[in-house]
């Protein structure tokens, strides 16, 4: 009689597939980063005492979210999906595990460095070492000869943009230089996150939809990557201090996003919750770009509208929604479970849409209510993703329910 396989320690299970370790790191980074931000918002509202951060709070928030939270999830997805895009064997632990250790250790030190001077730069240097290691791994995959490697090449180029943005935080922190901080923030948003998220959506949403919606015509035009060019141009204009002119590229980019949402059949996708969540998340991109365009046009006439509302429409609405939906889908599929969102996941996603609207209202509504709305939104965000992590994180250190490897 064959003996049953002995249970594997959680640490070994984490290294069985890249999404396990990276997604778990992302969960931890997300909760820690927004807990710090919640403390800052509570202090601003007079609900809690102030904290002596080693960075200006806005810099801290931008660094942790753009450079720490989203990259863990992006690396987890790309290390899993890009080899399949390129038709090469799946990556094994020795390809990426050392980089994960560097990212985890570096951000642990950097988080402590938000409160204790002298640690932040050291932590970021370790994080950058992890990034460079992963660039080498994913670069080999992206450059593999494949007739249809555009998505892999574009995401890899965006990862290079992300490493440049992360590296720019070093002179910003050492010299306390606002110019470098602006460069790091704008490059992280427009040269890294938005190009990665859009390219992944361009590749995956029509594919997912074609498996569910019948009949379905896959629409994946290459000219739509003009939106990535617009994103890069917006970043360059913002870095140069000319963000008011970015409406010139934001408006056509919004048109591309809206057209794709229509052609990818947003309404039909809503009939299947897990797919509909991805489509709703993508719809926020067009909304955010429209708000940026209106804001830019108004600014040319010295009229200032919306505050940070366009940024949060993209950051919370687009990035946040797609993250929750995509990571939930990948986690379900790679843990051997059915690709079906349960009631908790749907409820959390719906709550996230409300949080996005509340945060936007904090910027465009009456000033007297801004602090309260900001507190509500950050507290709700923390609760939503805490519940989501409790629901999905155990899958990362447990075996697949179907007994398959991975």
| pLDDT score for 45 | 79
pLDDT score recorded for residue 51: 85
- DSSP-derived secondary structure letter, 91: P
Over residues 211-225, the pLDDT tens digits come to 999 999 999 999 999
Q: If you average pLDDT over every residue of the chain, what do you get?
A: 94
pLDDT of 265 higher than 80: yes
Given a contact cutoff of 8 angstroms between Cβ atoms, the answer to whether 279 and 286 are in contact is no
* Whole-number pLDDT of residue 224: 98
Q: Scan for tokens 């000219």, then name that residue.
A: 223
Give me the pLDDT at residue 314, please. Answer: 98
Q: Which domains does the chain have, with CATH numbers?
A: 16-396 (1.20.210.10)
Secondary structure element (H or E) that encloses residue 181, with its range: helix 178-187
What is the tens place of the pLDDT at every residue in 53-79? 999 999 999 999 999 999 999 999 999
User: What's the pLDDT tens digit per position in 166-211?
Assistant: 999 999 999 999 999 999 999 999 999 999 999 999 999 999 999 9
377-402: average pLDDT: 96
Please give the distance of CA 115 from its chain centroid, rounded to a whole number. 25
Dihedral, CA of residue 147, residue 150, residue 155 and residue 158, to nearest 10: 130
99-152 pLDDT tens trace: 999 999 999 999 999 999 889 999 999 999 999 999 999 999 999 988 899 999
Question: In a 3-state reduction of DSSP, which class is residue 212?
Answer: coil
Cα–Cα distance between 158 and 330 in angstroms, integer? Answer: 21
pTM: 0.95
Write down the pLDDT at residue 10.
57
């Amino acid at each position: 009689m064959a003996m049953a396989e002995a249970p594997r320690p959680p640490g070994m299970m984490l290294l069985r597939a890249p999404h396990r370790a990276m997604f778990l790191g992302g969960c931890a980074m997300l909760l820690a980063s927004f807990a710090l931000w919640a403390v800052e918002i509570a202090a601003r509202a007079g609900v809690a005492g102030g904290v002596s951060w080693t960075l200006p709070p806005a810099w801290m928030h931008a660094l942790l979210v753009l450079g720490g939270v989203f990259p863990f999830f992006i690396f987890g997805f790309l290390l899993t999906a890009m080899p399949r895009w390129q038709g090469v064997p799946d990556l094994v632990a020795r390809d990426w595990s050392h980089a994960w250790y560097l990212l985890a250790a570096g951000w642990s030190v950097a988080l402590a460095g938000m409160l204790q001077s002298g640690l932040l730069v050291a932590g970021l240097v370790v994080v950058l070492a992890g990034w460079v290691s992963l660039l080498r791994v994913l670069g080999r995959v992206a450059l593999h000869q494949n007739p249809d490697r555009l998505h892999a090449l574009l995401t890899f180029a965006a990862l290079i943009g992300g490493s440049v943005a992360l590296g720019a935080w070093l002179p910003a922190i050492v010299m306390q230089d606002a110019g470098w901080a602006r460069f790091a923030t704008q490059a992280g948003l427009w040269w890294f996150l938005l190009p990665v998220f859009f390219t992944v959506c361009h590749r995956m949403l029509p594919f997912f939809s074609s498996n569910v919606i019948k009949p379905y015509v896959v629409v994946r035009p290459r000219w739509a990557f003009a939106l990535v060019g617009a994103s890069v141009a917006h970043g360059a204009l913002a870095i140069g201090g000319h963000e008011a002119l970015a409406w010139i590229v934001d408006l056509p980019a919004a048109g591309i996003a809206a057209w794709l949402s229509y052609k990818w059949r947003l309404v039909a996708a809503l009939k299947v919750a897990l797919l509909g969540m991805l489509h709703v998340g993508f719809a926020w991109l067009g909304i955010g770009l429209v708000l940026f365009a209106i804001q830019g046009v108004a600014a040319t006439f010295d009229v200032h509208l919306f505050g940070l509302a366009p940024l949060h429409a993209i950051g919370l609405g687009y990035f946040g929604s797609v993250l929750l939906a995509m990571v939930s889908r990948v986690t379900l599929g790679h843990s051997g479970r059915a690709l079906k969102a349960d009631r908790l996941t749907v409820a959390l996603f719906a709550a996230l849409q409300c949080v996005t609207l509340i945060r936007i209202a904090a910027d465009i509504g009456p000033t007297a209510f801004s602090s309260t709305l900001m507190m509500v939104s950050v507290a709700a965000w923390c609760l939503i993703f805490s519940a989501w992590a409790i629901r999905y994180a155990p899958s990362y250190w447990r075996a697949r329910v179907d007994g398959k490897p991975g």
